[in-house]
Structure 1
Amino acid sequence: MPSHPSHVLPPLPRLPPAMPRSGVSAQARLALRQVLGDVDRSLALAFRSGADARDLVRARANAIGSVVAHVWQACLGEAADCALFAVGGFGRGVLFPQSDVDLLVLVQPQAASRQARALEAFFTCLWDLGLKPGHAVRTPAQCRELAAGDVSVFTALLDARLLAGDAAQAAELAAIVDDPALWPPAEFFAAKRAEQRARHARYDDTAYNLEPNLKDGPGGLRTLDLMRWLGRRIAAAPDFAAMVEHGLLDATERAALERSEATLWRYRFALHLAAGRPEERLLFDHQRRLAADLGYADEHEKNLAVEQFMQRYYRAATIAERLCVQFKERCAELLEPATGEPQTLDEWFVALGGRLEPRDAGLFLRRPRAMVDAFAVLLDHPGLRGLSAQTMRLLQQALARHRGGFAEDRNVLAAFLALLRRGAPAVEALAGMNRHGVLAAILPMFRRVVGRMQYDLFHVYTVDEHTLRVLRNVARYADPAAREELPLACRTFEALDKPELLLLAALFHDIAKGRGGDHSVLGEQDARAFGTRLELPRADVELVAWLVRWHLLMSVTAQRQDITDPEVVHRFASQVEDTERLDHLYLLTIADIAGTNPKLWNEWKARLLADLYVAARYALRAGLDSPPHAEVRAQACRARAVELLAEGGVEADRAAALLADFPEASFLRHRPELVAWQARAIERSGGVDPVVAVQPRSARGGSSEVFVRAPDRDGLFAAIAATLDRLGFDVLGARLLASGRGRVFDTFEVLDAATSAALDAERARELEAALARVLSGDRLDARVARRTLPRRLRHFQRAPRIEFGAVGAATQLALVCSDRPGLLAEVAQALRDARVRVHDARIATFGERVEDFFVLTDEDDRSLDGAVQSRLRGLLLDRLGEVEATG
């Protein structure tokens, strides 16, 4: 962890006495600009030499305050009935390198017009100096009226600090702020909590998780400001030290808050220096540079400097947010003290004022398992509002006292297992235990992933937050409201004998992230050790360990392989081995994908996983000795397609004639429903090529199906890919088949790129018309749309990897590279230029990372030899404008 060496702060500027009412000459303004520049340069140098940002921001506030007061004296002198106040962060004596300089002039009504020109000269001078002040000129009556109607205005006045002018005005301002009728404590508390909820709703979406806001995001500096405002208004305790004296914090909590604030101030100071503007978000543009500037270094590829840097931020913000929650609870209890006698809940706990409390203050020290039991009691009494502030404090004190022994206590582990055995309801308790640090105390390895981020666009949550989201997704399986969206998953979960094993697998599946090595392998070891400590039966321990080890297996198989191929299903089922593993893996996979990134989960993936689950379950029940023979499968598909066509009014002879033109692979690779739909499209066209049909809702569900029958010619796939790209469609997969009569039967699964959803009827018609127009031309239009690389993708461009492998009589191309607009169209052009045929394509995008697989042959339908592979590799790299990764 980077150190914070001491450093002597630069001296504050010495300003000559201002000549009252003389104004500020051009020469003096130049000198003052020089002073301000010297201050900022010396503070930046001090920061880079290791000075504490807490000292530097106060030094800058003092320096700016001196300059502002100097200009005030020059412009207004000892003006009566008029005073200048710093407000906002400046009022609190805190200014970061790019912070706003917020000012309030309080002026008596009779002096307002008399001082107007002097005030105009004052603010003009400040702008000339480059301070860009935010300012307001108000009478006391106006201040009172605005503060009464807007809690944010009232809050700004709480921080007001006299800089210059008539000191009597400070008393007038204090009278407004201290008026008990103006925002009484209970109203102020409610209004500030509402403000915070609205602010968090704005800054807690997925974009802000990856690029968090240091100031306004959850756990940011505004959270600490809120505690000070509430402390002042509710208990006359404006700082953390005073809060300890009034019992709103204890000494340990104060120290934790001050450490978090030191980190946040240090990061914000560095961010302002790096951005050179008032930037509050840790954008990707700055994260790597800031990590280096603050002394972080890569440990290994699984623990980059930037990941360590961001983890420290997330931990500081998490601590600040958690302690703020506890602080607000104490404020609520002060404002609404519990009345009446405690209500007995069980042998150990009572309810007081609707909140849970231990029967005696020493319970958690004497009986550590009570720290787990408390959350079980909350489940048993859903009417309770949660833990009391005193209970939260006793929890923290007991955890600090027990330390490592807590995780080894057999009674604690027994209570934890009993909680897990409640199934889905246990997730709510686990979330509460995580908020209060109990979960990390039971699972010390979990503490290592608290705040742990991965520097990519795929994982949008820290590992601990992702894990909690996966657990909540598991709990949804028991919610009747989820049955419509996930009917198969809900039925499968309902049939589990021991749902606690799925919860344990969810807890451990990513617990080894960041350690180096394969997190699945390391996590398997952790899960097996913990299951043994829980004294689970050996078979249960092995199931949990297997799930952690192979938690990515189903996702990888479904998204990267052809699950309509029985051989693929057979291999997958053989690795899973039994239906109990399959049931658990299916449920864990859904919860994991949906909990990684909200944009990843859609109906198409739901259907994909369901198809693989059903096919594997059938294979396991039928036995794994002999997968179905290809000829038998093709005959069954053809016969069913004829039946479906007959149900739609197509006579058997005509149906047979339509299907006779189809490649034999269609009956191996497609479902009968899809083959029948394609045959009906050909029938509607009168057999005239090109045939283009778009099914807005595919038979698989969640995506749209695009079918093209056309004469085979060079550049066909490239033209289709370019057209789909220009019109704004994402390609999920492609099945490219050729008949013996010189025609292609190409099928694409697509989503609307703007919505990540299947196409509506209008978009489907637009796509049909566009493709028909392109494919009917004498020359195929394969132009690739040129678009600017989005800002976020620019920071995640990595060298591509290209690998070739054998797939039967064909060659598989595996391309792993960074995403970019028009990528598939560029790849298709490279394939065209290499004069290779594309028979199958699996397109998968994971955040900024693309993993595409193509099955290729040469023009004579043979596998690609070394020369063709080499030529294709070069063409791909030229198109991507990259050098291939090595190693």
Structure 2
Amino acid sequence: MTSTDVTKDAEDSGPGGYAAARLRLLTEGARSGPPRRAALAELTDEWLAGLFAAGAGTLRGVSLVAVGGYGRGELSPRSDLDLLLLHDGGDDEAVAALADRLWYPVWDLGLALDHSVRTPAEARKTAGEDLKVQLGLLDARHLAGDLGLTASLRTTVLADWRNQAPKRLPELRDLCAERAERQGELQFLLEPDLKEARGGLRDATALRAVAASWLADAPREGLAAARRRLLDVRDALHLATGRATDRLALQEQDQVAAELGLLDADALLRQVYEAARVISYAGDVTWREVGRVLRARSVRPRLRALLGGGKPVPERSPLAEGVVEQDGEVVLARTARPERDPVLPLRAAAAAAQAGLPLSRHAVRHLAATGGPLPVPWPAEAREQLVTLLGSGRPTVQVWEALEAERLITRLLPDWERVRCRPQRNAVHVWTVDRHLIETAVRAAGFARRVHRPDLLLVAALLHDIGKGWPGDHSVAGETIARDVAARIGFDRADAAVLATLVRHHLLLVETATRRDLDDPATVRAVAESVGTEGTLELLHALTEADALATGPAAWSSWRGSLVADLVKRVSSVLAGDPPAEPEADAPTAEQERLAVEAFRTGGPVLALRAQTEPPAGPVPSADPEPLGVELLIAVPDQPGVLPAVAGVLAVHRLTVRTAELRSLPLPDGVDGSVLLLDWRVAAEYGSLPQATRLRADLVRALDGTLDIAARLAERDAAYPRRRGVAPPPPRVTVAPAASRLATVIEVRAQDAPGLLFRLGRALDGAGVRVRSAHVSTLGANAVDAFYVTGGGGAPLPVEEAASVARGLEEVLRA
């Protein structure tokens, strides 16, 4: 069916015919993208023009005008109709009647309508008072009625916009910045708002408005295609959801991808991120140009007076060989020859980052067009300039993005293409893979004085997740890539081996510190064997913190930092030649003895809460002021069900468990049995900690069976509405071989949920094993818990029994 056929059906059948024709148009599989949007706008134009003609009769001095997105002809399936009924003020009563004849049929069809009725003077006045109204009028398009009235308004509005540009463009820039602060950056969000986020459709519209001012213009290469891609995604989103939404939620991404003929949701997000990156970079360049023009206008009269009417010459200050600063940007010197100087792109980028200045778009384009490839291996200067660029801190980001815009990064580092704009399906990460790598380098630059080889630290930061572009374990793949890249950019074999080790084990310290028993000699020996040297350990410690800080707020805390620092101290001692001491049963402290005696005397649980304020000695990262938590000491006569009872009570009171150690203390001579001592680190999920007396009372009830913890947790869970979303991956329970000689280590990976530790503790208790310690780690929605368990005699479990316990835990979590 052609657009002419659709329009004819709409004209023949009135509103009902329009609705039917609209439905057919939206369900035509062969037509999508710009052709469908144009056809939908044409169909709607004809329908509204028919309504106007029927309602206006002989009325003169009235016109119907499409504004905003409808004015641009960008009608998505659920877009609003932005309409202005323009009149010359001659017959208000007749105009009001005409408005009713127009608006009510639109509402009757369930279409969203943004409407106004104004004279040209009123429209002009409102535009002067409301920037958003003025932006909408810049796209005004005549639909029906008095064409001269519409043309006159368009001319006036455009003239006002151009005359007021020095005042209104800064206002528009602030509006864009405020929206970006509120909505985030489209190119990094897992559930982006295609319209409101930075780099979205509103920013693309703002760039059109800047161009209409004639004051400055946006870079045009790729901008129209990026805008079109976002509009196509919004169309598919409207069809998939049946709603007027711009939020690309997780649960709709696969369906939207299928609608667009893409492989999967990751392919969809990558295209969205690419488009957003083009628009964001165009915005950065455009707003810098606007600022430069406005500054020039403000100083030009004074300069001309000083120069006797002559034209001012821009001042150029040298920054490096072939690189100068001009008018607040870094540009190429007139004598620069990129075709003869392959190091020039890195030298210019390093100079810009060191100066904290943007790299001129024209300079980057010239380098991309004329620069030659670097020899392999790189000359020493090229490697040094790369390290300087990475070590410049926050200014590195804008310079790197400028190089990315012209694909210079992938020319320098071909492996970068696989991580470019790659989404991370993990709520802990706030950046795409490529931006996370740059953010890690920015963080690592702050630790350059802490290590002996800052160049290796910075390059490792850039490469630590480079394996995420390949299938399998990204650390394993990344090790090979890092070794190859290191050789290509000119590091010797020894340095390349260190970089490969850093990439292979960049998660080793934080995972070991939070999931393993640091008092177990096997833990410290395993880390020492993997790291190899004290110099590598020093670099790995700094890389661990930089990586976590660049991941997101949930990935690092004072608690994690203190555990990592403790592990580094122990491993450093082993690498220096001091073997880890075999653990001995520590004598109970005076407080532990007091609690044990009181538990024996009362026959019930006794507990104490103590704030942890002093971190262990050593270089503890301090970027996050989060307290280390609270120590919870519990003594209770040894009996079945203690672990799930304590874990359940803490979950009911919204306490997060970080570590849990359990030990048995013998009772006085002549008394059978023992007291179980639990030494746990906990933190309040919300607000302050509950009183110890309340915890004890609930623990007593949990142990005697009068407190149904499972029911309490289920009731609380049911009180919160579940958010629709993609199903989490299934839980996975494994036995870590050779992780300890003292116990069997069972590692659980599952979706975090209230009472998870309670359920695991109950399952372990039911399996008849004893938990020596538990190490709990939560990253976003994912829990990774490690349990050190033994049999009744205190020895590690036989292999078959350990596997059976792991299978049982997995079945409990899947239920």
TM-score of the two chains, using structure 1 as the length reference: 0.80
1:838 corresponds to which letter in structure 2?
A: V
Q: Which SS does the other structure have where 1:548 is aligned?
A: helix
Do residues 306 (structure 1) and 265 (structure 2) align?
A: yes
CA contact (8 A) 1:698 1:705 kept: no
What CA distance in whole angstroms lies between the structure 1 residues aligned with 2:532 and 2:804? 42
Amino acid at match of 1:258: A
1:724 pairs with one of 644, 647, 650: 650
Instruction: Name the counterpart of 1:696.
Output: 611
Q: What is the alpha-carbon distance in structure 2 between the residues aligned to residue 10 and residue 556 of structure 1? A: 64
Decide whether aligned partners of structure 1 residues 878 and 410 sit closer, same or farther in structure 2, where only a CA change above 3 A counts: closer
- The structure 2 residue matched to 1:815, chosen from 727, 748, 758, is 748
What pairs up with 1:258-297 in 2 under 5 angstroms? 258-297=224-263
For the pair 1:533 / 2:488, whether they are aligned, the reply is yes
Secondary structure in 1 aligned to 2:128? helix
Residue 398 (1) aligns with residue 324 (2): no
Paired residue secondary structure (2:270): helix
Q: CA deviation at 1:587?
A: 0.4
Residue of structure 2 equivalent to 1:844: 777
SS in 2 for 1:569: helix
- Does the 8 Å CA contact 1:284/1:792 hold for their aligned counterparts? no
Matches within 5 A, 1:158-307: 158-180=138-160, 184-204=164-184, 209-235=189-215, 249=219, 253-254=220-221, 256-297=222-263, 305-307=264-266
Partner of 2:307: none
Question: Which position in structure 2 is the counterpart of 1:670?
Answer: none
Q: Which amino acid aligns with 2:41?
A: A
Structure 2 contact 610–631 (Cα < 8 Å) conserved: yes
| Shift in CA distance, 291/695, structure 1 to aligned 2, threshold 3 Å | farther
* Structure-1 residue corresponding to 2:53: 73
How far is the alpha carbon of 1:175 from its aligned partner? 4.5
- 1:114 equivalent to 2:97? Answer no
Q: CA shift at 1:59, angstroms?
A: 1.4
Q: 2:435 aligns with which of 465, 482, 494?
A: 465
Q: Once the 2 structures are TM-superposed, how far is the Cα of residue 218 of structure 1 from its aligned partner?
A: 2.2
CA distance in structure 2 between the aligned counterparts of 1:768 and 1:227, rounded to whole angstroms = 60
SS in 2 for 1:214: coil
1:854 to 783, 787, 791: 787
Q: 1:629 to 1:518 in 2, by over 3 A?
A: closer
Gaps of 5+ in 1: 1-6, 19-27, 238-242, 298-304, 478-492, 639-658, 660-674, 755-759, 883-887
1:586–1:613 CA contact under 8 A, matched in 2: yes
The 5 Å alignment of 1:374-453 reads 374-379=348-353, 381-382=355-356, 385-387=357-359, 391-402=360-371, 405-408=372-375, 414-421=381-388, 424-425=391-392, 428-429=395-396, 431-437=398-404, 438-453=408-423
**Aligned equivalent of 2:638:** 712
Find 2:764's aligned residue among 831, 835, 846.
Answer: 831
Q: Secondary structure at the match of 2:750?
A: strand
> Which deviations, in whole Å up to 9, do the C-alpha atoms of 1:218-243 show, x marking residues without a partner?
222222212111101125x9xxxxx6
SS of residue matched to 1:98: coil
2:605 and 2:699 in contact (8 A); partners too: yes
Secondary structure of 1:104's aligned partner: strand
What CA distance in whole angstroms lies between the structure 1 residues aligned with 2:796 and 2:323? 72
Question: Equivalences for 1:590-605 in 2 at 5 Å?
Answer: 590-605=545-560
1:746 is aligned to: 678
Matched, 1:35 2:8: no
Q: CA deviation at 1:794?
A: 4.4
For residue 261 of structure 1, give the secondary structure of its aligned residue in structure 2: helix
Instruction: Label 1:433 to 1:412 Cα distance change in 2 as closer, same or farther (>3 A).
Output: farther
Question: Quick check: 1:364–1:394 contact (8 Å CA) kept in 2?
Answer: no
Distance 1:407 1:444, change over 3 A: farther
> Partners of 2:788 and 2:58 in 1: how far apart?
84
Taking structure 1 as reference, are residues 189 and 739 closer, same or farther at Cα in structure 2, changes over 3 Å only?
same
Q: SS of the residue aligned with 1:803?
A: strand
Among candidates 40, 48, 69, match of residue 89 of structure 1: 69
Match of 1:316 among 275, 278, 281: 275
User: 2:136 is paired with a residue of what secondary structure?
Assistant: helix
Structure 1 residues 244-280: Cα deviation after superposition (integer angstroms, max 9, x where no partner):
xxxx54xxx43x2233233222211111111110121
| Aligned CA distance change for structure 1 residues 17 and 280 (closer, same or farther; 3 Å) | closer
Instruction: Determine if contact 2:11/2:46 at 8 Å carries over to the other structure.
Output: no
> Match for 2:745: what amino acid?
Q
| Equivalent position of 1:801 in the other structure | 732
Contact 2:230–2:272 (Cα < 8 Å) also in 1: yes
2-structure distance, mates of 1:881, 1:91: 53
Distance 1:65 1:726, change over 3 A: farther
Query: Counterpart of 2:571 in structure 1: which amino acid?
Result: A
Q: Deviations over 1:656-704 (max 9, x none)?
A: xxx3xxxxxxxxxxxxxxx566457679999754222222336555222
Read off the aligned partner of 2:373 and give its amino acid letter. Answer: F
Could you give the per-residue CA deviations for residues 172-226 of structure 1, whole angstroms, max 9, x where no partner exists?
Answer: 4224413447861222221111111111111217997111111122222222212
1:599-628 deviation digits (Å, cap 9, x = unpaired) = 22111111111111122222222x15x432
One-letter code aligned to 2:316: Q
The answer for unaligned runs of 5 or more in structure 2 is 301-311, 616-626, 668-673
Contact conserved, 1:431 with 1:468, CA < 8 A, in 2? Answer: no
Structure 1 distance, partners of 2:339, 2:27, is 48
> Structure 1: how far apart are the matches of 2:679 and 2:270?
44
Partners in 2 of 1:541 and 1:290 — Cα distance? 43
CA contact (8 A) 1:810 1:864 kept: yes
CA distance in 2, matches of 1:435, 1:375: 9
Contact 1:593–1:600 under 8 Å retained in 2? yes
Conserved? CA contact 2:194–2:248, under 8 Å:
yes
TM-superposed deviation, 1:308 = 2.3
CA distance in 2, matches of 1:399, 1:111: 62
Q: 1:370 to 1:860 in 2, by over 3 A?
A: closer
- Tell me what 2:7 maps to: 13
Q: What's the offset of the Cα at 1:865?
A: 6.5
CA contact (8 A) 2:537 2:568 kept: yes
Contact 1:57 1:95 in 2 (8 A): yes
- The answer to whether 1:63 aligns with 2:43 is yes
Please give the secondary structure, in 2, of the residue aligned with 1:824: helix
Residue type of the partner of 1:201?
A: E
TM-score (structure 2 length as normaliser): 0.87
Alpha-carbon distance change, 822 to 690 in structure 1, aligned in 2, over 3 angstroms = closer
How far apart in 2 are the matches of 1:519 and 1:513?
5
Q: Which residue is 1:628 aligned to?
A: 581
Q: Is the 8 A contact 2:520 2:582 kept in 1?
A: no
CA spacing shift, 1:181–1:69, aligned 2, 3 Å: closer
Are the structure 2 counterparts of residues 830 and 332 from structure 1 closer, same or farther at C-alpha, using a change threshold of 3 Å?
same
Q: What corresponds to 1:768 in structure 2?
A: 692
Secondary structure at the aligned position of 1:795 is classed as coil
**Using a 3 Å threshold, how does the CA distance of structure 1 residues 565 and 875 change in structure 2: closer, same or farther?**
closer
Distance 1:871 1:527 in 2: 39
Match of 2:446 in 1: 476
2:567 is matched with 612
1:154–1:177 CA contact under 8 A, matched in 2: yes
* CA pair 748-111 structure 1, distance change in 2 beyond 3 A: farther
Number of positions where the alignment pairs a residue of Structure 1 with one of Structure 2: 770
What is the distance in 2 between the residues matched to 1:445 and 1:207?
20
- C-alpha separation between the residues in 2 aligned to 1:328 and 1:227? 9
